[in-house]
Amino acid sequence: MSEKYPINLWVNEERYEKLQKAGLAAMCQEMLAGLKCIQVYCNDAQKDKILKVFPTAKFDSATTKSIELLPRQVKDKIFDLVVQKQSIDIMDDFLKNY
Amino acid sequence: MAEIGHGGKEIKERILEPAEAKKRIQGLKQYPIRSQLANEVIDIAYGFFSPLEGFMGKADVESVCKKMRLKDGKTVWSIPIVFDMSKEEIAEYGVKPGASLLLTYTGNPMAIFEIEEVYEYDKKSLAKDVYGTDEAKHPGCARTYAYKDKFVGGKITLVNRPKINEPFTPYFLPPLELRRIFKEKGWKRIVAHQTRNVPHTGHEWLMKGAWFQTYGELPMDKPYVGVLVNAIIGEKRKGDYIDEAIILTQDELRKSGYFGDHNHLTSLTFWDMRYAGPREAVFHAALRTNLGLTHHMFGRDHAGVGTYYGAYDAHRLLESLKGEINIVPVYSENWLYCPHCGEITSESLCNHKKEWQKFSGTLIRSIVQDGVKPPRLIFRPEVFDLVLECAEKYGFGSPFVEEEYLKKRTPVFVMPPLA
């Protein structure tokens, strides 16, 4: 099975409100002593593309094995797509534009 | 009493008094230097790099690269400290053995450079020896390849003390000053925490764990052990935390009571990280020996970058040098959050492996960037608030380095006009 790499969408109040309105609040998981988070997953090819298209992004290979430091606006777009599609399986759709 | 530093040599500051400095610089050609070299001039002059008295000659560089020792064959040293110049500059400034230059920084006199040697050194070979790779994408190799084509060796003497700008002023504590403070505090053992980060609770527990390890068999009637947070201040890359946030939040752990005056102190060292992994760990051991420390924390992949070094390569190299370096390595695993325990714990302690939630500085940066305040178990609220305050006060709205910060920030230090 191929590896899957999460992007952590940390849910602040603004994002939580959007989730509640869409009836998606249950999508959140709780991490790190109470932080709300939605994880969307990338495969190898998607991970490589993300790191290439967004040079500030970093794959935390040592500790969390997650893709971090995507610009806030980019994560907002990913988050909005999650809400729109009511699914976390959105990376193909998201990357179409890049 | 003499203060003995790395290599068993007495630490002596190489700084002239103003009247003497004015006489000695008469007629010298002025050569402006970039920030990396200015940082290293300070490190040499104040004894951070003891027993070095100047920039290395070829024999030292070769010995450091091939044997990890200075040319005396005994003193462990792992990273070449070199001064580069172009052929054209060498001709223009009349650089040759026996000549001297007046190095200037931010437009004012900084140090006398007494030239002993001008030489060339194969940069690829240097990179391979020090970084274990010659790939240009390794930041240490990239720095090496960016050096000009000649190197100049010789002694450095400061003619002017740097003006350290706020908020860094109280944290510039050179070796002799630090050693005096340690005596005042009555600390018998001091453990170094190397950092370039704003602390999360994983870092805090690394320090607390190291404090316990260092305390060992000492009695508890008085505080005998301190943690020195020694922040590396040097070249910044976009996306790093701004320097002001790093130094102030590290100290905030003491001010907010997670540590106290009795066991915690923050200082800085000017150094442009080479990301040399195991060799940088050895370099840190030498540097912190000079600061007067007895112990040094080394975590996983200390001072590494990408996947160039194994998690415990630095530990193994340090073990191989036992008896040759005069500081006790304190090794540590990562600290993490265990929801079952409901606390921060160590990989070496907790056995709820399937429930572990690991976090890193990168992850915390990501959380902050998303506009979310992490829980206090993960990131202290005082630290979070201070990060935001630093963003407004020093970071042009961001706690992370951006173009505007690089262009407009107040430099950490400048050279004032000679008094």
Closest by CA to B164, choosing from B412, B369, B408, is B412
User: Two tokens at A65?
Assistant: 């094995």
Q: Closest to A35 (Cβ–Cβ): which among B306, B367, B371?
A: B367
* Confidence (pLDDT) at B305: 87
| A1 lies within 8 A of chain B by CB | no
**Separation of alpha carbons B37 and B109, rounded Å:** 14
B-chain residues within 8 Å CB-CB of A31? 357
Whether residue B38 lies inside any domain: the answer is: yes
Same domain flag for B144 and B236: no
Mean residue pLDDT across chain B = 96
Whether residue B125 lies inside any domain: the answer is: yes
Q: What is the CATH number of the domain that holds B374?
A: 3.40.50.620
Provide the pLDDT confidence category of residue B238 given band limits of 50, 70 and 90: confident
User: Two tokens at B218?
Assistant: 């000492």
* Confidence (pLDDT) at A98: 86
Summarize the confidence of residues B211-225 as an average pLDDT.
96
**Separation of alpha carbons A94 and A74, rounded Å:** 10
Q: Closest to B363 (Cβ–Cβ): which among A68, A70, A75?
A: A68
A63/B334 Cβ within 8 A: yes
**Separation of alpha carbons B28 and B102, rounded Å:** 6
Domain of B310, in residue numbers:
169-414
Same domain flag for B215 and B342: yes
Same domain flag for B103 and B185: no
Using an 8 Å Cβ cutoff, are A67 and A42 in contact? yes
User: Two tokens at B384?
Assistant: 């979070």
Same domain flag for B143 and B193: no
**Separation of alpha carbons B195 and B304, rounded Å:** 13
Q: Which of B161, B181, B208 is the last residue of a domain?
A: B161
Angle between helices B278-290 and B313-320 (to 10 degrees): 60
Same domain flag for B149 and B177: no
Same domain flag for B179 and B92: no
Same domain flag for B152 and B214: no
Name the β-bridge partners of B298. B331
pLDDT at B32 over 80: yes
Number of domains in chain B: 2
**Separation of alpha carbons B288 and B331, rounded Å:** 15
The residue behind tokens 């191989």 is B320
* Confidence (pLDDT) at B5: 97
Q: ipTM score of the complex?
A: 0.89
Summarize the confidence of residues B318-347 as an average pLDDT.
94
Same domain flag for B225 and B372: yes
Contacts of B20 (CB under 8 A, 6+ apart): none
**Separation of alpha carbons B144 and B79, rounded Å:** 11
Contacts of B365 (CB under 8 A, 6+ apart): A68, A69, B239, B241, B400
Q: Which of B105, B136, B161 is the last residue of a domain?
A: B161
Closest by CA to B117, choosing from B132, B96, B100, is B96
Closest by CA to B267, choosing from B143, B171, B377, B131, is B171
Q: Tell me how far the alpha carbon of residue B396 is from its chain's centroid.
A: 25
A-chain residues within 8 Å CB-CB of B366? 8, 10, 68-70
* Confidence (pLDDT) at A1: 53
B365/A69 Cβ within 8 A: yes
Residue B376 is which amino acid?
A: R
- Mutate one of B197, B363, B380 to test the A interface: name it (highest A CB count within 10 A): B363
Closest by CA to A19, choosing from A88, A78, A86, A70, is A86
Summarize the confidence of residues B200-211 as an average pLDDT.
96
State whether residue B51 is helix, strand or coil.
coil
Name the β-bridge partners of B151. B84, B119
Residue A15 is which amino acid?
A: R
Summarize the confidence of residues B73-79 as an average pLDDT.
98
User: B398 phi and psi, to 5 degrees?
Assistant: -130, 140
* Confidence (pLDDT) at A12: 87
**Separation of alpha carbons B409 and B394, rounded Å:** 7
Verify cis geometry, omega within 30 degrees of 0, for the bond prior to B51.
yes
Q: What is the CATH number of the domain that holds B138?
A: 3.10.400.10
Same domain flag for B124 and B273: no
Q: What is the mean pLDDT of each run of 10 residues along chain A (98 residues)?
A: 87 90 91 92 94 91 88 93 93 91
Summarize the confidence of residues B57-63 as an average pLDDT.
98
**Separation of alpha carbons B395 and B409, rounded Å:** 8
pLDDT at B302 over 80: yes
User: B368 phi and psi, to 5 degrees?
Assistant: -60, -45
Contacts of B137 (CB under 8 A, 6+ apart): none
Is pLDDT larger for residue B361 or for residue B52?
B52
* Confidence (pLDDT) at B48: 98
User: B341 phi and psi, to 5 degrees?
Assistant: -75, -25
Closest by CA to B293, choosing from B236, B227, B242, B357, is B227
Same domain flag for B214 and B143: no
Smallest CA–CA distance, residue A92 to chain B, in Å, is: 22
Percent of the residues in chain B that have a pLDDT greater than 70, as a whole number: 100
Same domain flag for B203 and B153: no
pLDDT at B172 over 90: yes
Cα-based distances in Å from B5 to B2, B12, B191, B227, B401: 9, 9, 16, 19, 35
Summarize the confidence of residues B178-206 as an average pLDDT.
97
Whether residue B419 lies inside any domain: the answer is: no
B368-386 in b/e burial notation, b at 16+ Cβ within 10 A?
bbbebebeeebbbebbbeb
Domain boundary assignment for chain A? 5-95
Mode of pairing for the β-strands spanning B328-331 and A67-68: unpaired
* Confidence (pLDDT) at B196: 92
- Reported as a single tens digit per residue, the pLDDT across A23-42 is 999 999 999 998 999 999 99
B-chain residues within 8 Å CB-CB of A63? 334, 358-360, 362-363
State whether residue A59 is helix, strand or coil.
strand
The residue behind tokens 């890359």 is B237
| Chain A (18-37) residues lying within 8 Å, Cβ to Cβ, of chain B | 31-35
| Chain A (53-92) residues lying within 8 Å, Cβ to Cβ, of chain B | 56, 58, 60-64, 66, 68-72, 75
Smallest CA–CA distance, residue B367 to chain A, in Å, is: 6
A9/B360 Cβ within 8 A: no
- Reported as a single tens digit per residue, the pLDDT across B86-144 is 999 999 999 999 999 999 999 999 999 999 999 999 999 999 999 999 999 999 999 99
